[in-house]
Structure 1
């Protein structure tokens, strides 16, 4: 093979690999930060690590699945053989690690894993149907992406009620940031933002109410809520959307650190 052939093949390979990465960048934080936080809270265990790996590989299989099924257009479909191969590999890792977690985990871990499987299946179905960018699709995506923290926590002998509270805390925080980002986009398109205002206000009242009545862990979402409120009040220009994303990631990390300290 000539040098020219090698130089031509390399960009195609890089481009193909880039196309097979999930395009929903906020999903990386929604999946990764709760998993990392849960491992730090619960400690390292074989079922917990297997759940983490299965969750990541299952998430990475999302884009190859859409490409292989032709949901990313004709240009992306040209890489279907690569997408299919990657889909098979990632799915294999997901199934293998999921089975190890089922075999080595306790009964609560197994039950929660079945719930994770159901949520993942419905999330994939929404994506294949093309509804993953709708408000309902994104909110349901938050549920499916964040739920792996539950079996990880249970695998570390964290009480089930605390594990559920930690998960619902993440749901509140990510619901707020998702509504904030959608509100920023709506502002750029000059669309009404009433639903975004109401959602963030309702979530803030919920957190404060739960904290004053029962010292709820949800108070740790205040950094995420504060940044979400700031984005709704002063939506930045569209060209700063990437900066908005990183700002919300910082708020999420602050929430994660606070959660680790409190728990």
Structure 2
């Protein structure tokens, strides 16, 4: 199968945006059967996106014609796996899971209309996707008995980190390719990254223990994004930007799991 006809998600950054919260949710405490079930369900829903986009024609009429039947089968299979996994998770975790599921499911429902309108790649759509991914820490942490303050702190780290990275990617494209809608990101990205970095430095040195670790964890991607915004590269180097952000996020993950 060619890359253009693959049924796997094409946005490489999305893999990292899901992987870091998943690993965090699994690593904050001893995972249970419910934790693993929720993780499987989240990954299955993530894999649904590309075959759903193909079957709806968002990847073009040619791919819809060539891969449509296979894509629809994949959508049904992955959806069934997600439902079964969530049922297993609910049965294993009981009342612990239900409230926490609202955090990723609410932005996921908001994302549906944008996808049907073909606007999932707008900044709003990408932020909703980030919100879904970052919020997976809530049900994962709830099923393994992680304190709510730690769950909230970890989820906030990933949400802010991914939003900063997304703003900078849009700023890079706006700088070199133009576009009125995202022009503001050219100054918005360094301002957001700079303000976040300053907050993290102050909070990490502050007296509040519940804020100290998340602030310290958020500092590497905040500083990394600030550096990228000061020395803004050409869009052809976006893959290097992505790997730089992955490196910074890896430091965040280590801090959350070791000191969180």
TM > 0.5: yes
* 1:202 has 2:202 as partner: no
* 1:214 has 2:202 as partner: no
In the alignment of these two chains, the number of paired residues is 250
- Please report how far the alpha carbon of residue 16 of structure 1 lies from its aligned counterpart in structure 2 after TM superposition: 7.4
1:99-248 superposed matches below 5 A: 99-190=87-178, 192=183, 193-211=186-204, 212=206, 214-215=208-209, 216=211, 217-248=214-245
Confirm or deny: 8 A CA contact 1:102 1:113 kept in the other structure. Answer: no
Measure the CA separation in 2 of the matches of 1:153 and 1:39.
7
Measure the CA separation in 2 of the matches of 1:72 and 1:39.
34
Confirm or deny: 8 A CA contact 2:103 2:138 kept in the other structure. Answer: no
Confirm or deny: 8 A CA contact 1:51 1:98 kept in the other structure. Answer: yes
| Structure 1 unaligned blocks of 5 or more | 1-13
Measure the CA separation in 1 of the matches of 2:13 and 2:199.
24
Confirm or deny: 8 A CA contact 1:185 1:238 kept in the other structure. Answer: yes
- Please report how far the alpha carbon of residue 15 of structure 1 lies from its aligned counterpart in structure 2 after TM superposition: 2.4
Confirm or deny: 8 A CA contact 2:193 2:226 kept in the other structure. Answer: yes
Larger Rg: 1
TM score, norm. by length of structure 1: 0.88
Measure the CA separation in 2 of the matches of 1:22 and 1:41.
27
Confirm or deny: 8 A CA contact 1:64 1:86 kept in the other structure. Answer: yes
RMSD: 1.9
TM score, norm. by length of structure 2: 0.89
Measure the CA separation in 2 of the matches of 1:230 and 1:50.
39
Confirm or deny: 8 A CA contact 2:103 2:132 kept in the other structure. Answer: no
Measure the CA separation in 2 of the matches of 1:165 and 1:139.
18
